[in-house]
Amino acid sequence: MLILASGSPRRKELLSLITDEFEVLVSGCDEFIPEGTPAEKVPAILAEQKALAVAKLRPEDTVIGSDTVVVLNDEIFGKPKDKEHAHAMLKALSGKKHFVYTGVAVAENDKVRSFVQKTEVEFYELSDETIDKYIETLEPMDKAGAYGIQGKGSVLVKGIVGDYFNVMGLPVAETARFLGFV
C-alpha cells in the first residue's frame, strides 16, 4: 500500500492525480535541519524524515513524504507565525523572483530515496493594501511563503518557470515517474 505521510489537503489532491490507491498517515515527527544546510537541500531532508517516521510504523508499505520551502536570497520562508509575519514575507517577495523547492522522499524496504524539484516564481509589485486584503482571506496563514498559487494568491503571481504543481506542494509528473507509475 502507498502511504502519504502528510496531512496537507493539497498533497492528497495532487497525489490522487497519480493514483487513488493510497492512505494518509501524518508523520508527526520532530523536524531537524543540520546547521549550515543549503536552503535547496532542506525539503529533501524534511521529506525523508517524514517518510522514515511513518515507514517505522508501516514497514511493509511504500511511504511518500514531502516538504516545500520558498526561498528568496538563500532565506527560507516557511509558514507565517501571524498576520504581521505574513505581511513581511509578502512584502519581501513583492516585485521579485524567488524559488520554490519541494522535496519528495519514498521510503520502502528500509531504504529512502528522494529528489528536489525547483520552480521559479515571480511576483507582481504588491501594494500594502493588496497584501493586507490577501491576508484578510486567511489563505496565507498555512502556506510556505505566505501564499497559495492555486487560490486567491494566484493574483500575486506574474509568472513561473517550472512545475506549477511543485509550487502547490507536490511535483506531480516527476513524482509519478519517481514512483514508477509512468
Q: Catalytic site residues?
A: 67
**Residue 131 CB burial class (10 angstroms; 0-12, 13-18, ≥19):** buried
Q: How far apart are CA 39 and CA 42, in angstroms?
A: 5
Q: What are phi and psi of 26, to 5 degrees?
A: -70, 135
Instruction: Provide the b/e sequence for 75-84 (b: ≥16 CB within 10 Å).
Output: ebbbebeeee
- Report whether 113 contacts 128 (CB < 8 A): no
Which helix (H) or strand (E) element contains residue 114?
strand 111-123
Segment holding 43, helix H or strand E:
helix 42-57
